[in-house]
């Protein structure tokens, strides 16, 4: 299993994808975090027209799974379908987060590499801070390495 530790900096592109339920938050994040120097690869959706979330989550998850990017952001209305889709990839640990503490803890303990946001349930300014905390927090390693290595299954 590929493991990336503490390798993110602002020069690295962040793939971001959403469905219509996450479109408004995606646009808000790109607009506001770009001003702070973060680089995004916007993989859609590109309007509020109704779409199927897997079509826009798979490309983000694939780029993380294949090691093309360190961290990704996925958004749907609830964050649930997006995280379910992304977690089908063996090298992805997508974490559904709804507050700052969750965003920090899932980096510290789970070495999460994708943050999944519920676009219809978050204050957008809080979501912006959550993304920054997620990107800026290092994995704690130690006992958590063994634990995340026990996540994959071979059936």
Binding site for ligand RB5 (CB under 6 A): 19, 21, 53, 76-78, 80-81
Helix (H) or strand (E) holding 144: helix 143-149
Identify each DSSP E strand in the chain by its residue range: 13-18, 39-42, 72-76, 94-96, 114-118
As measured in angstroms, the least distance from the Cβ of 147 to ligand RB5 is 27
Of 18 and 63, the one with the shorter C-beta distance to ligand RB5 is 18
What b-and-e string marks burial along 55-80, b requiring 16 or more CB atoms within 10 Å of the CB?
Answer: ebbbbbbbbbbeeebbbbbbbbbbbe
As measured in angstroms, the least distance from the Cβ of 64 to ligand RB5 is 19
* Residue in this structure with the two tokens 């971001």, named with its chain if needed: 16
Of 72 and 77, the one with the shorter C-beta distance to ligand RB5 is 77
Of 15 and 21, the one with the shorter C-beta distance to ligand RB5 is 21
Q: Are 7 and 71 in contact (CB under 8 A)?
A: no
Is 109 among the catalytic positions?
yes
- How many other C-beta atoms are found inside a 10 Å radius of the C-beta of residue 6? 12
Of 19 and 103, the one with the shorter C-beta distance to ligand RB5 is 19
As measured in angstroms, the least distance from the Cβ of 75 to ligand RB5 is 8
Catalytic residue, from 20, 58, 109, 144: name it: 109
The tokens describing 105, both together, are 């803890």
**Active site amino acids:** 109
């Amino acid at each position: 299993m590929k493991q990336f530790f503490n390798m993110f900096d602002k020069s690295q592109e962040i793939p971001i994808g959403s469905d219509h339920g996450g479109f408004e938050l995606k646009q808000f994040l790109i607009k506001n975090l770009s001003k702070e120097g973060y680089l995004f690869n916007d993989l859609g959706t590109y309007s509020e027209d109704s779409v199927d979330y897997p079509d826009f989550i798979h490309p983000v998850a694939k780029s993380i799974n294949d090691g093309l990017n360190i961290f990704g952001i996925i958004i749907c209305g609830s964050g649930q379908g997006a995280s379910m889709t992304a977690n089908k990839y063996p090298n992805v640990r997508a974490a559904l987060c709804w507050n700052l503490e969750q965003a920090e803890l899932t980096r510290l303990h789970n070495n999460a590499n994708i943050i999944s946001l519920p676009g219809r349930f978050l204050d957008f300014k809080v979501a912006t801070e959550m993304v920054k905390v997620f990107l800026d927090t290092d994995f704690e390693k130690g006992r958590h390495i063994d634990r995340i290595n026990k996540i994959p299954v071979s059936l």
